[in-house]
Amino acid sequence: MTASSPTLSIVLPCLNEAENLKALLLSIKEAQPTAEILIIDDGSTDDSANISKQYGARVISHPDPLGNGAAIKTGARHANGEIIVFMDADGQHRPEDIQRLLDKLSEGYDMVVGARTSNTHASKKRLFGNTVFNKLASFMTGQKIEDLTSGFRAVRAKHFKKFLYLLPNGFSYPTTSTMAFFRSALPVAYIPIKAGKREGKSKIKLLKDGLRFFVIILKIGALFSPMRLFLPISFVFFLTGFLNHLYTYFAWGGLSKGSLLMYVCSVFIFLMGILSEQISSLHYRNTDNENNP
């Protein structure tokens, strides 16, 4: 980083990562010696906080575990840098890749995400799940999303901080922030990275958190791209009603209650989509006004 470069903060949410922090912090300091390093201790019961302080990190502690997303929000609020890099404290992300994120960000992007290559996912199940989420989120946003759940990313702080109130407290902050940036027409880029094998036990439960990610994608779709969610559903109900209508008309020359119900549901879902679209537009108009006083 030169004197004219934007200031940089590196935020690491941390829960009981004492065994990984020494080597990781030394590597970060070697790779980015002028960066502010923040360890967000999310209620650790080991020596994570003390080790972080010993190796020059600024530590902000939660008295109890609040969740990965909550730690990210705390880190973003306390970060002083114009650019924030988020990375895991478990050793999966390589500090030498931080500069690659920054180089891509300097090309005019507002968020750059480290997209894990297929051979670096923890298992085939995780790779399959992540691929499904990426496809669904790409449909919701109308943009190609290469790695929806990657926690290794660089963002411009002024943009990221305006979405803090939207971020959940759990593990799905990457999902929400990525889709929020796309919906706000803030350019997002991806660079391929090789994620290392984490040390210690993963805190993500595949089934439980996978279902949560899916629900959050639907929620974010309803908030940021309502018609992409509601219109196809409305069409399915209408088509079902129409096909049933044709069958009953030719079978006994009438309109069944089932067809009528499908038509009514189709109209209601379509109107819900229009209403959600208007609410979404008002939300972003208010956000833009906040950023242009």
What confidence tens digit (pLDDT) does each residue in 165-196 have?
888 887 678 888 888 888 788 999 999 998 87
What confidence tens digit (pLDDT) does each residue in 59-103 have?
999 999 999 999 999 999 999 999 999 999 999 999 999 999 999
What confidence tens digit (pLDDT) does each residue in 240-251 have?
999 999 999 888
Distance CA 175, CA 47 (A): 30
> Which one, of 45, 49, 44, lies nearest residue 68 by Cα?
44
CA-to-CA separations, 198 to 19, 24, 25, 92, in angstroms, rounded: 11, 12, 15, 5
Torsion of CA 203, 171, 139, 186, to 10 degrees: -140
What confidence tens digit (pLDDT) does each residue in 202-251 have?
555 555 566 766 676 676 666 677 888 889 999 999 999 999 999 998 88
pTM for this predicted structure: 0.78
